[in-house]
Amino acid sequence: MISLYEIKNLFSKHSTLDYDKASPVNANARGIPLPSGISKGSTCKNCKVCETNCPTGAIRVKSDKEISFDYGACLQCGLCVEVCPEEKLENSGLVYAFALNRDELKINFRDGDFEPKEFALSDNVQKFQKLTKTRGFNFREVAAAGNNTVECEINASFNNYFDSESQAVKSVASPKHADAIIYSGPVSENMKDPLAIAWEVMPEPKALIANGTEAVSGGLFPQGQRPKEPDLFIAGDPPRPDVFINAYRLLMGRLKYHFQKSVKHRLDELKKIKKEQV
């Protein structure tokens, strides 16, 4: 017998996130830092305080006009923004720090600006998209000596709000039944072989996904040996479930997203806001 509560639920608005409408910018998050306060008429002091205080070495101050960021090493901790004496850096709120090419996460700013580059899809990603764009994929997660924050977020991705299975992304118990390996952590000496074994037993085509800054670059630790170059890099310590689920959608070819173009758009927005405030 159907209860009144069940009838009510049939007509209630669903609570699952609409991933097509989700924004790369989250007003409640720090996101990646951007040099929105640097321009041709307003250079930095080249004091390198941000560089020396960055715990992962994600920042390089090359001159008073040039600064580079490796967002694949960025923890999004906001420390560089806090210590900058000239307030030249700003938390952007941009949390979609993911890409199919590692170099796309590296940006060199000159006079506080840059031109986005294009990056071709690898042959393996193209094969993987043909397999998964319609049917989705199964994954096996390997905790490769991380701090367990990624695992907490993966657990949250199964709840009714994020609902990764609504995007046809499911966790399986064995890599033999998986299409992808998602690993967290910098890959310690003791975990390099288990990660490699899990990768080897999977059928082709398959994908390797680096989830979290530690997996992408090692984070605070030396980066260990991986079975191959990952097919998807998701930075953040840890990334939110909505971030890495949309990254999975990018890998499947269901989402059109270009990290550097998104950074450029957000940078222009922040500079426009600063001009209006003057």
Task: Give the CATH number of the domain where residue 81 resides.
Answer: 3.30.70.20
Q: What is the pLDDT at residue 2?
A: 64
Question: Residues 221, 157: one domain?
Answer: yes
Q: What is the pLDDT at residue 37?
A: 85
Count structural domains, the chain: 2
Per run of 10 residues, the mean pLDDT along the chain (length 278 residues) is 68 82 94 90 88 97 95 97 94 98 97 95 97 97 95 95 95 96 97 97 96 97 97 97 98 97 96 80
d(CA 161, CA 17): 6
Residue 139 lies in a domain: yes
Residue 21 lies in a domain: no
CA distances from 26 to 111, 145, 195, 223, 266 (A): 26, 29, 33, 29, 12
The whole-model pTM stands at 0.93
CB 145 within 8 A of CB 185: yes
d(CA 54, CA 147): 19
Looking up tokens 């041709």 gives: 40
d(CA 85, CA 45): 9
Domain around 53? 33-94+106-112+258-277
Question: Residues 128, 248: one domain?
Answer: yes
Residue 99 lies in a domain: no
Residue 191 lies in a domain: yes
Q: What is the pLDDT at residue 278?
A: 63
Residue whose C-alpha is closest to residue 179's, from 187, 190, 170? 170
Amino acid at 229: E
196: tokens are 């490699």
Torsional sign, CA 119, 125, 131, 134? negative
Residue 74 lies in a domain: yes
Residue whose C-alpha is closest to residue 113's, from 60, 37, 174? 37
Question: Residues 131, 201: one domain?
Answer: yes
d(CA 32, CA 236): 9
Question: Residues 85, 152: one domain?
Answer: no
CB 59 within 8 A of CB 48: no
CB 122 within 8 A of CB 82: no
Question: Residues 150, 270: one domain?
Answer: no
Question: Residues 171, 248: one domain?
Answer: yes
94: tokens are 């941009």
Question: Residues 228, 131: one domain?
Answer: yes
Q: What is the pLDDT at residue 245?
A: 98
9: tokens are 């639920």
Domain with 247 in it: what CATH number?
A: 3.40.50.12280
Extract the runs of DSSP E, i.e. beta strands, from the chain: 33-34, 59-61, 66-70, 90-91, 98-99, 106-110, 137-143, 169-171, 180-184, 207-211, 232-234
Tell which phi-psi region holds residue 76, choosing left (phi > 0), alpha (psi between -120 and 50) or beta: left
